[in-house]
């Protein structure tokens, strides 16, 4: 009876758009912005086109301190050059670059830091990240409430990484956190599954938040993670 009551309470909170007395959208947005503030980068809902050393790149993650992108040619760690994405142009330094199997052939994913960001560049970055947070939260809320996307004719093909999809299953056990790389995107009962390649800083924030959360928030986190995985599966 208690379990049934708790499930009914969860459904009622979702329908009413409230969680803990605050509008559900605002709570999700606040959670996302806090994560963005603590984590160096966030995963972009739709990767953006950019350039580094005048070569085309696909920007997968962005933050106030750096970015992660996918590209065709090898880059040396320590290489410094100009990074551009939309209206943003700033210096970037290669911090890591890894070779990964793609759906066909191979591809590189590289993380860069922004050593010096001016006031104007910082404002452009913050505008981009806040817009990204708002868009992701709106989509998550729509999915959680069972609201489909607006119909506007055939969907345009979206830019996405060409790396083969793998997932990281995080399970909280009495001995601590267990990590398993898996092709299975499903969520565990005692943790969260996310895309493999999620930054260590973001994983640390996720694990810390999960440890401090109640069962309702943990279920919400699993649902948000599922939505993010489903987004990555879209053609």
Residue 155 lies in a domain: no
Domain closes at, from 148, 183, 199 = 148
Extract the residue ranges of the chain whose pLDDT is less than 50.
1-22, 38-39, 151-157, 235
Residue 154 lies in a domain: no
For residue 26, the model assigns a pLDDT of 56
Domain count, the chain: 2
**41 with 142, same domain?**
yes
For residue 18, the model assigns a pLDDT of 44
DSSP structure string for the chain? -HHHHHHHHHHHHHHHTEETTEEHHHHHHHHHHHHHHHSS-EEEEEEEEEEETTEEEEEEEE-SSEEEEEESS---TT-EEEEEETTEEEEEEEEEEEEEEBSSSEEEEEEEE-S---HHHHHHHHHHHHHHHHHHHHHHHHHHTTPPPPP-SSPPPPP---BPP-EEEEEEETTEEEEEEES--PPPTTEEEEETT--HHHHHHHHHHHHH--HHHHHHHHHHHHHHHHHHH--
Residue 19 lies in a domain: yes
pTM (global) more than 0.85: no
For residue 58, the model assigns a pLDDT of 94
Domain closes at, from 100, 123, 148 = 148
Domain coverage including residue 19: 1-148
**33 with 72, same domain?**
yes
**144 with 229, same domain?**
no
**Predicted confidence (pLDDT) per residue in 44-53, tens digit:** 778 899 999 9
For residue 5, the model assigns a pLDDT of 45
**14 with 89, same domain?**
yes
**139 with 176, same domain?**
no
For residue 218, the model assigns a pLDDT of 92
**175 with 131, same domain?**
no
**130 with 195, same domain?**
no
CATH of the domain at 4: 2.40.10.220
Residue 21 lies in a domain: yes
**193 with 135, same domain?**
no
For residue 232, the model assigns a pLDDT of 66
Residue 159 lies in a domain: no
């Amino acid at each position: 009876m208690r379990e049934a009551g708790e499930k009914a309470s969860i459904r009622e909170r979702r329908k009413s758009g409230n969680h803990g007395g605050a509008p559900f959208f605002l709570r999700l947005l606040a959670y996302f912005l806090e994560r963005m503030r603590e984590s160096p980068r966030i995963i972009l809902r739709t990767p953006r086109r950019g350039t580094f050393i005048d070569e085309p790149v696909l920007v997968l993650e962005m933050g106030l301190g750096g970015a992660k992108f996918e590209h065709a040619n090898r880059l040396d760690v320590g290489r410094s050059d100009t990074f551009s994405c939309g209206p943003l142009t700033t210096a970037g330094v290669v911090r890591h670059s890894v070779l990964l199997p793609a759906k066909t052939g191979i591809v590189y994913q590289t993380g860069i830091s922004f050593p010096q960001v001016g006031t104007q560049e910082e404002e452009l970055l913050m505008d981009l990240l806040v817009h990204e947070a708002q868009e992701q939260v709106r989509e998550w809320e729509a999915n959680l409430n069972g609201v489909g996307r607006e119909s506007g004719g055939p969907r345009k093909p979206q830019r996405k990484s060409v790396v083969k999809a793998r997932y990281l299953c995080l399970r909280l056990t009495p001995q601590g956190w267990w990590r398993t790389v898996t092709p299975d995107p499903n969520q565990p009962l005692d943790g969260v599954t996310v895309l493999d390649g999620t930054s260590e800083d973001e994983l640390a924030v996720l694990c810390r938040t999960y440890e401090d959360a109640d069962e309702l928030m943990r279920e919400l986190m699993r649902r948000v993670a599922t939505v993010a995985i489903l987004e990555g599966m879209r053609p």
